[in-house]
Every structure is written in structure tokens, then in C-alpha cells.
Structure 1
């Protein structure tokens, strides 16, 4: 549960209302090849915030199936303190069309204790629909293949991040609800965002202060709405997530942006 929340928190920052699959592309104005982001992860242990690991994400231009794409990878690594609660040694990989950011391939390899499993998604767009070929390798080695087709756009946890960073939030109002159509190799998640307005935030450790847009991520489970994450993204064209508050069944966790390089646009949300 906590691993899924951390992944979703780091990469499911903002989304847009789902439209016909013909419009699954979007113009990229938010990032460029060579961007690199680093986060510190903290857990509230007996009323004390303890650093338990780190996460990093890189985006580079590459080629996939003969096409120019953005190759994005996310790695999370827990330290020895976190290993006492759960092991986190995971890597996510995504290929999105360089011109439209429409997803073409996604892979997640997750190590949990002695369990290791793999999720894969292949995308195609026949007849203006979004078709997914889904592949999962369980920890016992058993393989599962599923084919799904949707009339709306569907994304994975990585591709939604790249698309969402190009979302124009200037016309949003406090309280607005934004669906998040995210799939893994098992199911489509019933989840959404709620816009909470704007706040200023000072990053611990670096001392940098930013004007931020604040969102909450919700999932419906057992007929109830659960707020899983509250996050802060820079109120500029980069839309970099700088703070994440994660509400867990057994405590609280946070992630803070520790470093960034290769960003495309000026960090105009930074307060001097």
C-alpha cells in the first residue's frame, strides 16, 4: 500500500479531464531532455520525522520501435531504517511519443522484501480508442496477459506525470475535481484530484521557497473516498512537485524536492 502511494505521489501530480483517445497527445512546454529530479523521503516514527530513503527521476530523448520518444525512469531506494518496515527497491520506466507525449510503453519492477514482480503495458490507438496489452509477472513467476480497450485516454503512473505537467491550471477554481485515468497491469484505478488553491512552501534542507498549487489525490475503496496524498507543485510552467504529504494506514510520510537540474523553463515560482 505505502509503495503504491509513494509512486503515485511522486508521479501522479496533476491530470486533466479524460477526453476521446484521438486527443491523447498534448504539446510539451514543461520539460526537456536531460531533466533530473531528486527527492528525500521521510516517515513519522514515534512522533519524529526520520529520513528513510530517496527517489530520483530522469527524462531523456530516445527511440522506441523506430520512433522518437521521451524515456523517463524513476527509481526509489529505501535506507536501512525503512528496510525495517518494508523493502523499497523499485524502478519504473516509460516511453512516450516525443511529439505528442502519448504513452507507448510502461514497465514497473518492484522488490518488496523477497517478493519481486513486474508490470508492463503496451499502448496502441485503433479507431480513436486506447488499447492496452497488459502483462504481469507475479512473485512466484506466474504470468498474466490481459487485453483492454477504452474509448477514453488511459495513462500509467509515469506518462500521466509528463502529460499533467503541461496542464494549464490558471483557470482552475478551488474545489475543482479532476479525474485521473491510471492503469497498471491489473486494473484501472478509480481515482481523482481535488484542487485546494495556492500556498507558499519552504523546502527543508535547501531553504528554497516556492509559490505552489496544492492538490489532494483521492481513491475510492470499499465505497468510501480516501485522501492518500496532498502535494505541492510549482506555480510556473515547469510544474515541479516540491512537497508530498502521504496519509498511510499506519502513519504519515513526506517527500521533499532536494535537487533539480536541466529544467526547461525559468523557476519563476521561486520566491527570493
Structure 2
């Protein structure tokens, strides 16, 4: 595979794997979240994406994630917004702009609506999902390329998340009750299908910045769905800050050809910055690449 095609492959998967990092939860109870302590409206995270070609990591794209206070059908809600794009240097070859929007209930982060718009060169797709808890169903509407819209109704399961809202739910989990090697179950909606997945907790590991400073991260590997991007299995590793912010710091994953990596580049609007490692970083975090 040529280098240019490999870089584009990385860019196409960057937004997905940065969100799938958190693809786990405890679905044993319908009350999925007791309290949100990790984030608040106004938070914005930016990531750099890289593709590994032999011994070289090549810059490929950027992902941004943000949180807003909003309303959905007159109910208090969070609006989560994610964008993924390739670097402008590659626009002449392959133009990529993906956007994801999710609305959730404010108190327990249960998904209410999810929208994914994919624009990759000449390929366009639009996925929409409406969560109805009165009858435990999910209504979907999907259109790919110029084909007619497809409508479907799925049977929902307790604590099922889309690939964006789950990123914020997982940051509020109590990791202290898990041991190294534990599998934590998840119910997640991906491409009009609800998947029963898990993540394997790998304990605490230290991450080092370019300046030599070190800080603790929670480390884990989710079970991936086999498809056009991943081989399946546990070929992804995630590092989440071991403080009250629980921010994804770094993600690495093997793809069908090579591997990709996402690294936190900048942040703002953190809920718990006063007594955390992020206080003195002034919005930038230079992790070793």
C-alpha cells in the first residue's frame, strides 16, 4: 500500500478509534450513571493523529471533541460534538471531513439522539438514531451515497451507548473496583447493530512528556469489531488520565495495514483542573511521540 494511501487510511480511522477507546461500561443495571464528576459544558479536547510506516510516525489528521449544555425536545441535555479531518496537505488527494453529534440526558448520560455524517472524497453517508426508552427501541435512518434512505427499528438494551456518548460515560466509572486483567462488559450501537463487547483493564501505567515529567494513566484494551478498519480482537491500547478529569491521553491501534496513534494535543474548559496535572500545562500537553 503506498504511503499516501496509508496516511489516508489512518485519517479515516482516527475519529473512530479515539471514540472507541472508551467502548465499555457496566450494563448490569438500567441506572447507568450515578454521578458525572469528570467533565462539564465548555470542555474541548484536540488530538493529533499519526500513521506508522515502518519506523516512522507520519502526521495524518486531527480530531476535536467538545461538550455543550443544550436542550433536546425541551429536556435538559448535553450536546457532544466530534470532528475528524485529514491535514490540509492531503486535501488535493483525499478530502475527509467527518462529524458526529450526540444528545444525552444530563443526569445519567443516556443517549437521546446520535448523528454521524461522513464525507470522504466522493463517498457520503448519513446515520441517524433516535433512542426511545418508553418502548426500549432505537429508530434508525441511514443513507449511503445516492441510495434511498433505509429505515429500521432496533430492540434497545439497558445502557447501550453510541460511539460518541460512551466516550463521556466511561470517564465517570469507578476503576478502583476492577483488577488488572478484568473484562468489563459493554453494549454499544455501531452501524445499525448493537454489539456486546468488553474491555480488558490493564492497570496503571506512567506516561512521560517531552520535558521528562511523568504522570499516571489508566490503561486498557477494548475488544474491537472486525471490519474494514480493524482485524478484531484486542489490538487497541488506551491511556486515560488517572485523575478526576479522566481524559484520554493516548490511543494506539493496529489497523489492517500498519498502526495508528492519537495523542492529546490541547485542552480547555476542564472541570477538575485546580488540583490536577493539567493545571500547570496551560492548555498544551507535549507527550512523547
After the TM superposition, which residues 230-241 of structure 1 pair with which residues of structure 2 at under 5 Å, given as runs? 230-241=237-248
Mapped pair 1:175 → 2:184 = no
Which segment is superposed worse, 259-268 or 82-91? 82-91
Contact map agreement 1:199 1:214 (CA 8 A) in 2: yes
Residue 3 of structure 1 deviates from its aligned partner by 6.4
For the residues of structure 2 that align with 1:271 and 1:69, how far apart are their CA atoms? 28
Greater fraction of residues in strand: 1
Residue 180 of structure 1 deviates from its aligned partner by 2.3
For the residues of structure 2 that align with 1:255 and 1:196, how far apart are their CA atoms? 19
Cross-structure match for 2:41:
33
Cross-structure match for 1:150:
156
For the residues of structure 2 that align with 1:182 and 1:98, how far apart are their CA atoms? 19
- From 261, 269, 288, the equivalent of 1:262 is 269
Cross-structure match for 1:19:
28
SS in 1 for 2:161: coil
Cross-structure match for 1:192:
198
Cross-structure match for 1:49:
57
Distance 1:25 1:115, change over 3 A: same
RMSD: 2.6
For the residues of structure 1 that align with 2:91 and 2:55, how far apart are their CA atoms? 19
Cross-structure match for 1:125:
133
Taking structure 2 as the reference length, the TM-score comes to 0.83
Residue 107 of structure 1 deviates from its aligned partner by 0.4
Q: Which runs of 5+ in 2 are unaligned?
A: 1-8, 281-289
Q: Which runs of 5+ in 1 are unaligned?
A: none
For the residues of structure 2 that align with 1:7 and 1:242, how far apart are their CA atoms? 14
For the residues of structure 2 that align with 1:174 and 1:265, how far apart are their CA atoms? 26
Give the number of equivalent residue pairs: 267
For the residues of structure 2 that align with 1:199 and 1:85, how far apart are their CA atoms? 39
For the residues of structure 1 that align with 2:173 and 2:129, how far apart are their CA atoms? 24
